[in-house]
Structure 1
């Protein structure tokens, strides 16, 4: 199963690669070179396919749990001052996605979208300290009666050139449902209230819509 954001790129890539191989087949008489171009074309197309894969996830919905919004590795757990929306201190959990990770962004909690904003910006590497403030990004806040307002931020990296965000203010969303997509490498930050019980560690690998990264269980 593939994400809808990849259909156009996959079709264009397939057309270009087929055209290249037809041209090389007719113009080049060196067998090993023609075969090498064919193999490279197949490998490139397989990489594109795996990047846009969209595996079905059976999300264990629980309003007391905050789930990882994306697949990747936890690269930061730190107290920060969130100055765009809350304007107070929050615990930031940052998850880095490599180009081989699934890049679907999922809602970490269910509830009502109270804020959704796109910010144009730079394309610093995703682990750069200033990437969360200077890179192209989207900020979304979802509110429910248990967790209150939870903010998550899609951040473009050096390879990511387009962020897709489906969250609209006042929309009611389900935990684990499709929230957007980031093309070709990036990071997502989740900001939770200070004192929230964190359930992940640095360098831990997580799965979007499955792994619990924090909870409000009493």
Structure 2
């Protein structure tokens, strides 16, 4: 079974889960207060964001001649030829992609 999140995100998800459990435990003890009531909600929102950030959705690759598939979600900022880099022996095409925090960050 394929995980719907990137493996690299699992430690962050585990930490956020532990924080949520600790906040829920802390909220149940002591004097009732708005801070104790809000702590689990804030921790749950953080956990939800972390899971969302590290999501790894299934993709269907397009087929056809001349198809270019981006390694990441985001907005293409530029497509330009480059040459003269020390690691290149010929001209290549550089595609610059901007990823916001809401884009899938898994590189395929």
TM-score range, shorter chain: 0.7 to 0.9
TM-score, normalised with respect to structure 1 = 0.43
Aligned residues: 105
CA distances 1:23-43 after superposition (whole Å, capped 9, x unpaired): 24313421x322221221111
Query: 2:6 is matched with which residue: 3, 7, 21?
Result: 3
Higher strand share: 1
Query: 2:72 is matched with which residue: 70, 86, 102?
Result: 70
Segments of structure 2 that go 5 or more residues without pairing to the other structure are none
Q: Contact 1:78/1:91 (CA < 8 Å) preserved in 2?
A: yes
* In 1, Cα distance between equivalents of 2:38 and 2:68: 47
* In 2, Cα distance between equivalents of 1:82 and 1:25: 63
Higher helix share: 2
Q: Which ranges of 4 or more aligned residues in structure 1 deviate by more than 4 Å? A: none
Segments of structure 1 that go 5 or more residues without pairing to the other structure are 107-218
| Deviation of 1:96 (Å) | 1.2
CA distances 1:89-127 after superposition (whole Å, capped 9, x unpaired): 333210011111111112xxxxxxxxxxxxxxxxxxxxx
Q: Which has the larger radius of gyration?
A: 2
1:43-122 map, 5 Å: 43-62=45-64, 64-106=66-108
CA distances 1:30-74 after superposition (whole Å, capped 9, x unpaired): 1x3222212211111110010111110111244632211100011
1:2 to 1:59, Cα distance in 2 relative to 1, 3 A: same
* In 1, Cα distance between equivalents of 2:84 and 2:94: 9
